[in-house]
Structure 1
């Protein structure tokens, strides 16, 4: 079973990274932008704090239950579908739970440690957590949606590069090559 999971590791990791958005809340900038949009469209007349509470309740629902009608219940009147499109989050507008990132880093660490047969710092939980944080808090020129395994590998390499010693660099390249070989 472990071998099957390892062979599927790239796809499973992609899915698990992208699923972090399913349990995310809008960051404060996105929440305020949605609030101002609803105010401008005369959909909401109350305070930002109350709007934010409703937004948190809405985002706490399972993704499949988050519908336009579900949020319309909180508003003075139903919103247009074009406004609702703004409610979808990406990694730049979402606040990802740190515990979820840590759990994913731990899972990734366990699989990589066992299957790559290494306890190297490159596959430590802290290194993988830093990698996942960079992916889920992208810079302005980085992808913010539909992340792929190659994005993980690139980011992991950029996290590891500053602290890897010359003798360990060859071993790291071998680990990276083994991961790329899985990503067929």
Structure 2
């Protein structure tokens, strides 16, 4: 093989190597971009699907004079916050400040009326719930749930439940 032919073969090999390296870099960047876009999409999708919040109630209900009347504690869960039909479940334990008259209420069957709204970083869900009472469950109890990153407030219209929770919201904390 003469010198010119060896040079041409080396030049072709060098061009092929450059092409292979360039193609490899391009494909690597394309793959990395695809992975990043896919992960961002999956994360966004997961955040939309993972819309369950849970927490506790710890609220002192006052009488008309502002004196402590009931201590309300319990657990709650609000799932599917961004969906058309979120679910809300809670257990509210009530006891007098002196430790008497302890009892419990379960809240379930949230039926949302309209779209949840967003005000000042809080999601507001209006609808009805079912609350267990001594005389039996009270259905279609008008309920307003206000939720932000750290707190929850649940207001039950006092009329159907004979002012059982007063005319005050039961407040609590978001744990998760």
TM tier, shorter chain? under 0.3
* Structure showing the higher helix proportion among its residues: 1
Q: Whose relative contact order is higher, 1 or 2, with alpha carbons under 8 Å and at least 6 apart?
A: 1
Instruction: Choose 1 or 2 for highest CA Rg.
Output: 2
Question: By percentage of residues, which structure has more strand?
Answer: 2
When normalised by structure 1's length, the TM-score is 0.25
